[in-house]
Structure 1
Amino acid sequence: MSRLYTENLSVGYGERRIVKQLSADIPDQQITTIIGANGCGKSTLLKAMTRIIAHQEGTILLDGKQIIKEDTKALARKMAILPQSPESASGLTVGELVSYGRFPYQKGFGRLTSRDHDVIDWAMEVTGTLEFKQRPVDALSGGQRQRVWIAMALAQETEIIFLDEPTTYLDLAHQLEVLELLQKLNQEQGRTIVMVLHDLNQAARFADHIIAMKDGEIVRAGSCESVITPDVLREVFHIDAAIGKDPRTGKPMCLTYNLVKDESTVLHAVPEERIPVSAGA
């Protein structure tokens, strides 16, 4: 049994249900990506699992306990979240922003201890942001700022990190920079990473486990090979996709796709020996 999972979870706003009777396991010490069309409930699921928003039905359990009953600071020592659009850090230096990650451990007047300072410096060193410690967050590039927000999440010293579209608004190089950092944290420190991604090939390349959602429900969850398939992508995104193999990683790769207009017209997976060597390079 996974440490974190949901059972028959329903989440909504008013009378409208966004997530419907959803049961999902988050594998420990692996990278899980959640994919699906806009409005399918990906971000809503993330917010519910981190208790940012309330759920109406079902349960969310972490280490056998319902998160709704957990003390806020205790829960913040177990999981961290980087939202899709982090709040403005205007006027803060990098060091000041990262120090906010120590909030769950502060007592009394909230003064930082020597232990807190050590963790803050470690988080910035791991994310390659220590050299920016005294610089204003606003003066950094998009990729640098994203690494600083990740450093703040790391400063919480949680074993589980949630990220909602961490590559949004970043160019290709900065997207790869952020995803490789998350992969490194998973592989070297055993962090459980859960993130929403729009790019299917990035999801397949970096994930150990993928959850494909449609209309608030799970269409399929499992390995990249079992989820990134023409049938699943047809159902989830309403596209007719040709799936091959990434020549660098061996992971499944969406080579091309069309919108589904005629159900009688279907592209099939491209045989490996016919995939151009340059694909995905």
Structure 2
Amino acid sequence: MVRLYTNDVSIGYGERFIVKELSVSIPDHKITTIIGPNGCGKSTLLKAITRIIPHQSGAVLLDGENIAKENTKELAKKMAILPQTPESAAGLTVGELVSYGRFPYQKGFGRLSKKDYEAIDWALEVTGTIDFKYRPVDALSGGQRQRVWIAMALAQETDIIFLDEPTTYLDMAHQLEVLELLQKLNREQGRTIVMVLHDLNQAARFADYLIALKDGEVVKAGNCEEVINHEVLKKVFHIDAEIGRDPRTNKPMCVTYNLLRGEEKDEEAVNTLYAASGTRN
């Protein structure tokens, strides 16, 4: 089932297009991860889908409706986003920060209702941050802060959560902590998770569906078997990858790789050009 998809979306800054006539579908109740080299349009696509930035052409549709025409508060009840570098929470307690997730439901003078407080405590419980409720956000570790930001997104009570590189600046243990939390939210609550990740093996381990981007275009979209393979990684990252199996999940994983250089890289580019034009047998 697909509730959210883009139809020939082009996104740019000024006269420079980052994403070009892109059509992607986000499977419902699954974890979708977007991968690709720096500058390929991953974060730009996330921002356009969540209406943080406008798109120049095409459409983003949720439940058959163009999000460009949606009321902002109503859209915020359907999707939440955790940006790559969340705004500073200086001076706020954890509970105060998470309460911001209730903004779409507030009326009048913006006072929190009993239901709001229940949603806040629930989000803190689910993310394991309830013990930090009255502590300053600045006093927490990186992993704890990231869980608090996720709690704020959960307090919005949306079916779809977007995260732009949620493991950035975290050590290995805290990266795993955050990804396991997102997997738990997906499996136990059916949340649709869409995130950008740089680590290919983390993407393969936690994603149900992968979208590989390069130069603002989809090179391959599908399950881990279809995307994490030698040919796709060669096209997307210009690497010669050795693919093995994760002994714990049996999913494909990148064991090691070399950069494509000189003639190898030139030959790969020529093959891509011929394939696109259909002039090589």
* 1:136 maps onto 2:136 in alignment: yes
Q: Distance in 2 between matches of 1:30 and 1:107?
A: 32
* 1:172 maps onto 2:172 in alignment: yes
Q: Distance in 2 between matches of 1:115 and 1:199?
A: 38
1:121 alignment counterpart: 121
Instruction: Write the letter of the residue equivalent to 2:92.
Output: L
1:231 alignment counterpart: 231
1:47 alignment counterpart: 47
Deviations 1:73-132 (A, max 9, x none): 000000000000000000000000000000000000000001100000000000000000
Q: Distance in 1 between matches of 2:149 and 2:127?
A: 10
Q: How is 1:201-220 mapped onto 2 (pairs within 5 angstroms)?
A: 201-220=201-220
1:63 alignment counterpart: 63
Q: Distance in 2 between matches of 1:72 and 1:14?
A: 25
Give the secondary-structure state (helix, strand or coil) at the position aligned to 1:54. coil
Deviations 1:1-60 (A, max 9, x none): 510000100000000000001000000000000000000000000000000000001010
Q: Distance in 2 between matches of 1:177 and 1:26?
A: 24
Q: Distance in 1 between matches of 2:146 and 2:247?
A: 29
Give the secondary-structure state (helix, strand or coil) at the position aligned to 2:264. coil
Percent identity over the alignment? 78
Q: Distance in 2 between matches of 1:148 and 1:246?
A: 30
Q: How is 1:252-267 mapped onto 2 (pairs within 5 angstroms)?
A: 252-261=252-261, 262-263=263-264
1:183 alignment counterpart: 183
Q: Distance in 2 between matches of 1:214 and 1:58?
A: 19
Q: Distance in 1 between matches of 2:9 and 2:115?
A: 38
Instruction: Write the letter of the residue equivalent to 2:18.
Output: I
2:75 alignment counterpart: 75
2:91 alignment counterpart: 91
1:107 alignment counterpart: 107
Give the secondary-structure state (helix, strand or coil) at the position aligned to 2:43. helix
Instruction: Write the letter of the residue equivalent to 2:254.
Output: C
1:154 alignment counterpart: 154
Instruction: Write the letter of the residue equivalent to 1:180.
Output: E
TM norm structure 2: 0.93
2:38 alignment counterpart: 38
Deviations 1:241-272 (A, max 9, x none): 000110100110000000001429x9xxxxxx
Instruction: Write the letter of the residue equivalent to 2:174.
Output: H
Q: Distance in 2 between matches of 1:59 and 1:220?
A: 21
2:275 alignment counterpart: none
Q: Distance in 2 between matches of 1:5 and 1:118?
A: 32
1:279 alignment counterpart: none
Root mean square deviation of aligned Cα = 1.2
Q: Distance in 2 between matches of 1:119 and 1:223?
A: 34
Q: Distance in 2 between matches of 1:203 and 1:59?
A: 27
Give the secondary-structure state (helix, strand or coil) at the position aligned to 2:23. strand
Q: Distance in 2 between matches of 1:44 and 1:180?
A: 25
1:270 alignment counterpart: none
Q: Which runs of 5+ in 1 are unaligned?
A: 267-281
1:273 alignment counterpart: none
Q: Distance in 2 between matches of 1:212 and 1:16?
A: 21
Q: Distance in 2 between matches of 1:148 and 1:130?
A: 9
Q: Which runs of 5+ in 2 are unaligned?
A: 268-281
More helix by share: 2
Instruction: Write the letter of the residue equivalent to 2:80.
Output: A
Instruction: Write the letter of the residue equivalent to 2:264.
Output: E
2:271 alignment counterpart: none
Give the secondary-structure state (helix, strand or coil) at the position aligned to 1:3. strand
Q: Distance in 2 between matches of 1:153 and 1:194?
A: 13
1:276 alignment counterpart: none
Structure 1 residue ranges, 4+ long, deviating more than 2 angstroms after superposition: none
